[in-house]
Amino acid sequence: VGSGTRDGGRWTLLTGHGHVLVEIARDPAARIRDISAACRLTERTVQAIVADLEAAGYITRTRAGRRTRYALDPGRPFRHPAQAGHVVGPFLALLAGDSGRAASPAPAPREHEAGHAPHRVVLQRPAGKP
């Protein structure tokens, strides 16, 4: 997990996963290419991160024509024990700017729409681990 350095040795506070999630909070219709440019990560890396975020339940992907839209779950917790008890919503709202327009009120419609009950994962654990 992050040594805290990206961009050639300059340290940051957010990891690549953090930056990608913030970008998605800013623009739920962002393309991989846009996220890649904003976060200074390769498109390939962004793809992998988006897959991680989806697998862990932080985002849900919906196809809208040729575009993908993302819905965030602001109620999901941070992952490190040192942040136990904190959920990502307020953090994303702050970092995504816009007084949190993007992040906090996200999930309302998607519960009923489109027939895919967002797998409100009962906090999954990795396969095969006790």
Partner 1 sequence: VFLEYGSFAGVERWSFLTNHARVLLCIARDPGVRLREIAASVGITERSAYGIVTELAAAGYVVKHKDGRRSRYQVQAHLPLPEPGSGEPAIGEVLAVLIGDSTRQQARGRSAPPR
- 112 part of the interface to partner 1, by CB under 8 A: no
Nearer to partner 1, 61 or 67 (CB): 61
- 83 part of the interface to partner 1, by CB under 8 A: yes
Nearer to partner 1, 56 or 69 (CB): 56
Task: Report the alpha-carbon distance of residue 72 to residue 59 in Å, rounded.
Answer: 5
CB atoms within 10 A of CB 23: 22
- 97 part of the interface to partner 1, by CB under 8 A: yes
Closest CA to 78 of 69, 68, 88, 90: 88
**SS3 letters across 47-102:** HHHHHHHHHCCCEEEEEECCEEEEEECCCCECCCHHHCCCECHHHHHHHCCHHHCC
Residues 29-68 binding partner 1 (CB under 8 A) are 38, 40, 49, 52, 56
* Choice from 44, 67, 79, 119 touching partner 1 (CB under 8 A): 79
Q: Which residues bind partner 1 (CB under 8 A)?
A: 1-4, 7, 10-15, 17-19, 21, 38, 40, 49, 52, 56, 77-88, 90-91, 94-95, 97, 123-126, 129
